[in-house]
Structure formats: C-alpha cells, structure tokens
Amino acid sequence: MREIEEQPPSLAERVKRSPVTFALAAINVAVFVYAESRGSTMRVPDLLRFGAVEQLHVAAGDYWRLCTSMFLHIGWMHLLWNTYASVGWCTVVESVIGKRRFFLVYVASGIGGACASALFQRVTSAGASGAMFGIIGATLALRYRVLGSAAAFVRDRFVRSNFVNMAIWTVIGLTAVRMDNFAHGGGLVVGTLTTLAATSTRPRAAWAASASLLAVVVTLAARPGWTPRGDAAEDAAVYATAYAHGLQGFTRSEGRAGRLADLACRDPATAACAQAGWALRDSEDRETRDHGAALVDRACRAGYALACGDRPLPIE
C-alpha cells in the first residue's frame, strides 16, 4: 500500500492563512529599503531620521518613535533575521487568536519594547525584536491556557525550552552581540499580558486593564516633566546643536533642535542649557535665533554666569 505524503502549504496559501504576519514583514522590508535608499541604517543620524527610538528624543516630544521603531531595522542581517523569525512565530499565533487580536498583540508588544528601551537606557534602538518577544510571550500565554494551571505550565517541556532559549539570547545580548534586552523584556511582558487579555473569559475588562497598563508605560517612557541631569542634559544640548546646524550627518531641523534645547534647559543654570541656547542663537532661522537668545538669557538669569557673556564654551 503506497503512502501519500502531505505537501507543505505553498507561499500563497501561507499568506492567505496569515495575512497580517506577511503584511507586517512586507512593511519592515519596505521601510528598510526606503531608509537605505536615502541614507544608511547603520548610522545613528539616519536611524533617528527614520524613526528609531531614543530616550531624549522621546522626552523632547517625539512620542511617535515608540511605534515607528518596531518597523525599522539596523542593517540587512537584522532585517533578515527578524523577518525569518517573525514568519515562524507569528503565523502560529495569528492562526490561533485571529487577525485582529494578533495585530493588537504585535503592535502593543512593539510599543512596550520601545517604552522599556526609552525608560531604562539612553541608546538609539530599532527593530521588531520587542514585538517578536511579545509574540513569544503570546505563545507562552496560549500554552498556559491549554495547560490550565501554573504547576503544569512550569513542568511543561515546551515552556522550559523557550525560557532557556530566551535566557541564552539575553546572555548573547549582554556579552557578544549588541541587542536591546530591555526592549526584549518589555515586549515579552506586554505580549504575554495582552494575549491573556485576548483569551480571557471576560475580554472587555481584560482589554481595558491591558490598555490602561500600556498607557501608563507609554506615559512613563514619555517622561513628562523630567529634568535631564549631567550627561543626559549635555547629550540633549549636543543633539540640539547637531539639528540646528545639520552637523555630523544630522538633517537640519529647527523644530527638533528647539525641543531638545528646551529639554536641556529644564535646569537652566547649567552649561548644557547655555550651549543649547548658543547653538540655536547661531541658526540661520530668525525664530530659532530668538529662541536661542531667550534660552541663553534664561541660563544667565538662573545663575550660570558664563551665559551672561557673548562667547559660547563647548561642552567637554
């Protein structure tokens, strides 16, 4: 008796079964191609131009970076690995919880990862890894629903294997390859919680709780009223200078320069505030020059005596 081997689904069939997964992968590729055609995704100024997340930029008002950063990747290898991994993990979760809920879990995880990155470190970060770890969290949450108890969940070989793999990736990210482990952790937590909400017997209350938690995390990442000190304030002034004059590969942007200068001047009696004000005061744009003069005057009146003269001093 002859056996008939089951043929694996074609690419067209896989796309039909998991359209959101492949649409997200296509967006990642399209964003990467667009960014590479107008710069380099290996350079910080271009990454920031195309939507990477960075603590000071978010605090200065670029809140949209908490969403856009998940669609931007740093180099071809980063893009290819995340795209390959996303197809493997995401298609399963999308088939189980449906297109709409999968999309919400994915995006919420990506935002959660970006928020964790902006909260706990001052680096430029991009990529779908936060969302991907959220999908791993979703897979574990679905496994918990199937097993039905915490005890069975802890004993499960599949669950243990995934935790071991995540631990290995975390160690690699700490020692060998530069990975944003904060984004991974934030995405994992948000993905787990939103999937538990999506599969809850009381979905409305669970979704409301998840949305409220994400809103709190976004607010914390936005840092309303935060006053940067020391190196953070100095970095804000450096960014303001780069944007005001288009230095070091940064595209000139008076608006962003002004917002970062204002961030540096939340403590006005500092060299950082004076430096940011001087940078704006030397701009070609009249409104920006007036803004800079006001910040220098503010630093002077706040007690930073060097701002009361005419010569700017560089930040060391």
Residues 212, 205: Cα–Cα separation, whole Å: 11
Q: Taking Cα atoms as reference points, which of 231, 236, 114, 124 lies closest to residue 184?
A: 114
Under a CB-based contact definition with an 8 Å cutoff, are residues 231 and 261 in contact?
A: no
Under a CB-based contact definition with an 8 Å cutoff, are residues 158 and 136 in contact?
A: no
| 125 DSSP β-pair partners | 53
| Cα Rg, the chain, nearest whole Å | 23
- Among candidate residues 184, 210, 283, 291, the one labeled active-site is 184
- Among candidate residues 125, 129, 210, 283, the one labeled active-site is 129
Residue indicated by tokens 């574990």: 140
**3 state DSSP class of 125:** strand
Under a CB-based contact definition with an 8 Å cutoff, are residues 221 and 111 in contact?
A: no
Q: Is 184 a catalytic residue?
A: yes
Q: In 176-281, which residue ranges form alpha helices assigned H by DSSP? A: 181-198, 203-222, 230-245, 254-264, 271-281
Two tokens at 154? Answer: 């802890």
- Nearby residues of 316 by Cβ (< 8 Å), 6 or more positions away: none
Residues 292, 242: Cα–Cα separation, whole Å: 14
Q: Is 129 a catalytic residue?
A: yes
Q: Enumerate the active-site residues.
A: 129, 184
